[in-house]
């Protein structure tokens, strides 16, 4: 059918870029194990991080410069690995437990039950370690079902870094391997932040990842808030053991490139990275880190509220998927503003949707039309009762 043609096309071109072959009929739109909407398929293969004039490409190259300088070109770089990966690579190989939420259809885009759009560049760690790489950077587009606001987008870009140490590297220091790697990792990333930003306010937060221990997040102060820009830690020994590196210790990190680029170039909203408006694209120059983005239009957002009785299967990510499906990049934020349970045990949610274009003013009619479509689809697809 024509419906099938429409979505399949971008998948095929993405496969040309990435090298992984998926037989044509492996992916069927009506397959209940596939939850990838057309709008997401359409982003496959765009590879914003490989455009030297795009803020993400400029940032990537600046990070490469830092690593080449302090590690004398020792890091191998990959920025063209296929974003369609196995469940094994995305989750099992980095020790994500079978019941971890990130595996759910609510959080991850599944192409079929064994294949996902990678939700992080960590999906490539194990394979590259098995191939014998000990210092590497992997940059790529990653995909997540997620909330809607100025710092979250369902497609974004990460850079993974991994460094493996051999025993002689830490033994001479008198520290144990884990402490040595953790302190080297923090020094490396603080140095990177200084290289990119000069003086900037930052802080380390202890956290949890299945693939590292200890694990940390780095936050940077931006637009009057702490913004999480990366996760990192000392690689779980089991991951190294499985790639035959029993005597080694390693660190790994995953940077959110949009978040760093927002701070670096003063970009206020993550949707702008996808803009082809010349008033955006023409502001950035290959190799130039010093550019500050000048907003070219400031239209006020328009807010619409919507209340409904939820059911057991309701999730905010499903709601956001509908809003994005209807409004695309005109949806700026979806926020829960009221939540109560009545005496009968029914729970009501009120969501506020902010509509705004980065490029032009929207008419009342246009916004009302979007909101009516959202209401209609929310009622039909989420089986909730509008109030």
Q: Does residue number 253 form part of the binding site for ligand FA5 (CB under 6 A)? A: yes
Per CB under 6 A, 93 contacts ligand FA5: no
Of residues 64 and 309, the one with the C-beta less far from ligand FA5: 64
Asked if 75 interacts with ligand FA5 (CB under 6 A), we say no
- How many CB atoms are located within 10 Å of the residue 198 CB? 8
- Count the site residues for ligand FA5 by CB under 6 A: 24
Closest distance of CB 223 from ligand FA5, Å: 14
The stretch near ligand FA5 (CB under 6 A) out of 31-39, 153-161, 274-282, 348-356 is 153-161
Residue 40 interacts with ligand FA5 (CB under 6 A)?
no
Min dist CB 254 to ligand FA5, Å, is 3
265 is a contact residue toward ligand FA5 (CB under 6 A): no
Instruction: Based on the shown chain and the rule CB under 6 A, indicate whether residue 57 belongs to the binding site for ligand FA5.
Output: no
Tokens 């009968």, located at residue: 344
Q: How far is the CB of 12 from ligand FA5 (least distance, A)?
A: 26
In three-state form (DSSP H/G/I as H, E/B as E, the rest C), the secondary structure along 320-341 is HHHHHHHHHHHEEEEEEEEEEE
For residue 259, state whether it binds ligand FA5 (rule: CB under 6 A): yes
140 touching ligand FA5, by CB under 6 A = no
CA distance 153 to 66: 27
H-helix or E-strand spanning residue 166: none
How far apart, in whole angstroms, are the C-alpha atoms of residue 86 and residue 89?
Answer: 5
Backbone φ and ψ of 97, nearest 5°: -60, 155
In angstroms, the CA 319 to CA 258 distance is 23
Site for ligand FA5 contains 146 (CB under 6 A): yes
Q: Does 76 bind ligand FA5 (CB under 6 A)?
A: no
* Residue of the chain from 233, 324, 355, 384 that contacts ligand FA5 (CB under 6 A): 233
How far apart are the C-alpha atoms of 209 and 213, rounded to whole Å?
A: 7
x/- track of binding to ligand FA5 for residues 163-202 (CB under 6 A): ----------------------------------------
Using the rule CB under 6 A, is 83 a contact of ligand FA5? no
Is position 144 an interface residue for ligand FA5 (rule: CB under 6 A)? yes
- Residue selected from 209, 265, 308, 351 as contacting ligand FA5 according to rule CB under 6 A: 209
Q: What whole-number distance in Å separates Cα of residue 73 and Cα of residue 332? A: 40
Site for ligand FA5 in 103-132 (CB under 6 A): 120, 122
Report the side by side order of strands in the sheet with 115-117: 84-86, 115-117, 110-112
CB of 263 to ligand FA5, least distance (A): 10
Q: Pick the closest to residue 230 from 250, 202, 249, 210 (CA basis).
A: 202
Nearest to 376 by CA among 297, 304, 298, 323: 323
Q: Which of 255, 232, 42 is CA-nearest to residue 155?
A: 42
C-alpha distance from residue 57 to each of 63, 64, 139, 281, 288 (Å): 10, 10, 10, 12, 11
Q: Among all residues, whose Cβ is closest to ligand FA5?
A: 256
Residues lying near ligand FA5 in the complex (CB under 6 A) are found at 120, 122, 144, 146, 152-153, 156, 158, 160, 209, 211-212, 228-233, 252-254, 256, 258-259
């Amino acid at each position: 059918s024509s419906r099938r043609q429409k979505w399949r096309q971008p998948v095929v071109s993405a496969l040309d870029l990435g090298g992984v072959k998926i037989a044509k009929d492996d992916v069927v739109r009506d397959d209940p194990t596939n939850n990838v909407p057309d709008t997401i398929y359409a982003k496959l293969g765009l590879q914003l991080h490989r455009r030297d004039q795009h803020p993400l490409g400029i940032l990537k190259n600046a990070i490469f410069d830092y690593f080449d300088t302090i590690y004398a070109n020792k890091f191998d770089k990959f920025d063209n690995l296929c974003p369609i990966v196995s469940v094994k690579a995305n989750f099992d190989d980095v020790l994500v437990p079978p019941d971890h939420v990130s595996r759910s259809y609510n959080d991850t885009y599944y192409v079929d039950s064994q294949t996902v759009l990678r939700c992080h560049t960590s999906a490539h760690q194990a394979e590259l370690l098995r191939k014998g790489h000990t210092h590497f950077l992997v940059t790529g587009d990653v995909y997540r079902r997620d909330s809607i606001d100025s710092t979250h987008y369902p497609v974004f870009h990460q850079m993974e870094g991994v460094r493996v140490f051999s025993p002689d590297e830490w033994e001479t220091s008198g520290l144990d391997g884990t402490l040595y790697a953790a302190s080297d990792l923090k020094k490396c990333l603080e140095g990177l932040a200084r290289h990119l930003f000069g003086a900037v306010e930052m802080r380390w937060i202890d956290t949890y990842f299945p693939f590292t221990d200890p694990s940390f997040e780095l936050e940077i102060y931006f637009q009057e808030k702490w913004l999480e820009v990366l996760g990192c830690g000392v690689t779980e020994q089991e991951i190294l053991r499985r790639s035959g590196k029993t005597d080694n210790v390693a660190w790994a990190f995953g940077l959110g490139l949009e978040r760093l680029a927002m701070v670096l170039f003063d970009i206020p909203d993550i949707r702008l990275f996808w803009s082809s408006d010349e008033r955006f694209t023409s502001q950035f120059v290959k190799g130039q880190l010093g550019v500050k983005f000048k907003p070219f239009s400031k239209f006020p957002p328009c807010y619409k509220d919507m209340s409904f009785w939820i059911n057991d299967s309701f999730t905010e990510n499903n709601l956001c998927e509908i809003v994005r499906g209807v409004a695309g990049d005109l949806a700026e934020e979806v926020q829960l503003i009221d939540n109560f349970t009545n005496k009968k045990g029914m729970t009501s949610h009120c969501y506020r949707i902010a509509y705004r274009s980065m490029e032009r003013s929207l008419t009342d009619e246009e916004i009302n039309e979007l909101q009516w479509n959202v209401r209609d689809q929310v009622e039909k697809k989420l089986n909730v009762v509008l109030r």
